[in-house]
Amino acid sequence: MIIHSPESEVKILVDRDPVKTSFEEWARPGHFSRTIAKGPDTTTWIWNLHADAHDFDSHTSDLIEISRKVFSAHFGQLSIIFLWLSGMYFHGSRFSNYEAWLSDLTHIGPSAQAGHQVHVSLPINQFIDAGVDPKEIALPHEFMLNWDLLAQLYPSFAKGATPFFTLNWSKYTEFLTFRGGLDPVTGGLWLTDIAHHHLAIAILFLIGGHMYRTNWGIGHGLKDILEAHKGPFTGKGHEGLYEILTTSWHAQLSLNLGMLGSLTIVVAHHMYSIPPYPYLATDYGTQLSLFTHHMWIGGFLIIGVATYAAIFMVRDYDPTTRYNDLLDHVLRHRDAIISHLNWACIFLGFHSFGLYIHNDTMSTLGHPQDMFSDITIQLLSVFA
């Protein structure tokens, strides 16, 4: 008689999808929603068809699952973008008009001009500004591989990194300057100023990266910084804001869209007022296109700020747990804030429109010398 030991029962948990699907269902628009599956009655059906599929909050209340869906959607979009960019870079470099651009800088637009600023942009533009024949200028990669060429223009290159480690940084002022203003030859910012600016930003980022704490105990915690700021009229200040941003994707997206949208609008202004690229100041078509492009993007992002802030207020905000903080104070004073913003916008609008009315009136009456323009009554900015 053979006695077998009782085998332990093993239970394997398998994630089963209770929703059955097929190609026939995928062919029917809106099969995932009972309301949308009835078919289009109004244009609302079209909007809901696209919105409901991406409304992850309505699918589940699990923040981890929502986060996984959001990040997977983002990485899918990034993969498509980088795939598209790789093709653009390949075609841009393969069919580059680099030599033709050097021969006529103000009439031919460069199709692929990206390179190391100090090792490529500075020497090439210095040769061009000096009137050297473009055919005699070395190709960009030669400046990277042969530093003797750079040493002929900037003698400090021959010393390598020695001035850096010996703290004799003044030796690098040949190509890291702080002149200010615009280059009179190109109409753009001094490239040596831009190189210095980028280096300074990198140093600040390196310092900033060690100031804030993530998983380690060294540095400042963003939660502590936010809760430490309390004014005399703001109650608890930013207390609870960190929890809002870490539990509500809508609040975080609204904040990020606000910063990115504002920065995009600032870039739109700076691209024409202080052009970063040589000869961009005289290429009016490109300037107009760049300004319009960045203003449109900034405008759309700012619209997204109000949209996702409203979704946060409806879905995620709990006024009972956010009493007497800064956001609560803003909401309690929203009537006064909106009314003041209203008259401020009207004030600006009437002044801008008044300038047009003034110019039209003076032109009609035959007094062009009394119009606002660059050659009569000039309107000069104070802070720019």
Predicted local distance difference test score (pLDDT) of residue 301:
96
Burial class, 176, CB count within 10 angstroms (exposed 0-12 / middle 13-18 / buried 19+): buried
Can you tell me the mean pLDDT for 153-158?
80
CA distance 188 to 104: 17
**How does pLDDT run across 160-187, given as a tens digit for each residue?**
778 888 888 888 888 888 888 888 888 8
Can you tell me the mean pLDDT for 304-317?
92
Predicted local distance difference test score (pLDDT) of residue 126:
78
**How does pLDDT run across 356-383, given as a tens digit for each residue?**
999 999 999 999 888 988 888 877 767 6
Greater model confidence, 212 or 370: 370
Instruction: Tell me if 312 sits within 8 A of 251, measured CB to CB.
Output: yes
Burial class, 251, CB count within 10 angstroms (exposed 0-12 / middle 13-18 / buried 19+): buried
Question: How many H helices and E strands in the chain?
Answer: 16, 0
Predicted local distance difference test score (pLDDT) of residue 291:
95
The pTM of this model reads: 0.69
In angstroms, the Cα distances linking 205 to 200, 202, 210, 255 are 9, 5, 9, 21
CA distance 204 to 45: 50
212-233 burial, b at 16+ Cβ within 10 Å, e below that, comes to eeeeeeeeeeebeebbeeeeee
**How does pLDDT run across 223-266, given as a tens digit for each residue?**
888 888 787 877 888 888 888 888 888 999 999 999 999 999 99
Q: Where do the structural domains in the chain lie, given as residue ranges?
A: 249-316, 333-368
pLDDT at 10 over 60: no
Q: Tell me which residue of 200, 177, 201 sits closest to 189, measured CA to CA.
A: 177
Predicted local distance difference test score (pLDDT) of residue 112:
37
Q: Name the maximum alpha-carbon separation found in the chain.
A: 123
